[in-house]
Amino acid sequence: MTEAVIRNKPGMASIKDMPLLQDGPPPGGFAPVRYARRIPTQGPSAMAIFLVTFGAFAWGMYQVGQGNKKRRVIKEEKYAARRAILPLIQAEEDERFVKEWRKYLEDEAKIMKNVPGWKVGENVYNSGRWMPPATGELRPEVW
C-alpha cells in the first residue's frame, strides 16, 4: 500500500503536498516515570537465609561423616578378608614356586650336563643368602 492511499490523498504529485502526520503522546499524557529506588519488603530476612544455609551445610557435613564411617567399615572388612586368605594364597604360590624351581633345575642339569665341575642349583653369587625371584617367573627369557 502506498502512502497516498493510506492518507486518503490519491494522485498527489509530491511528498510536499502530503499532510503532516506526527506521533504524539496519548490523550491525557504518558504515565509518570518512576525513578525512585523501591526495595521490596517481602521475602525472608537475612538471618533466616543464614540459618537455612547453615542448617543445610551442617546436614550435608553430617551426611559426609556418616558416609565416611560406612566406607571405613567396608574397607576394614575387605582388609580383614584379605588378611584371612593370605596364608592360603601364599601356600599356593609356594607350591607353584617349588614346581617351577624343580623344572628349572631339571632344565639346568640338561643344558649344563657337558660342563665339567658344574653343580646344578648352586648359586653363582657367593653372597650366602637365598633370595626368591622378584617376579612370578623364574626365567622369563626362556619361555
Residue 20 vs residue 141, higher pLDDT = 20
pLDDT value, residue 141: 58
pLDDT exceeds 90 at position 134: no
All three cell numbers of 53: 544455609
25, pLDDT greater than 90: no
Res. 1: pLDDT tops 60: no
DSSP 34-55: P-S------S--HHHHHHHHHH
DSSP letter assigned to residue 15: G
Per residue in 47-80, pLDDT (tens digit) is: 999 999 999 999 999 999 999 999 999 999 999 9
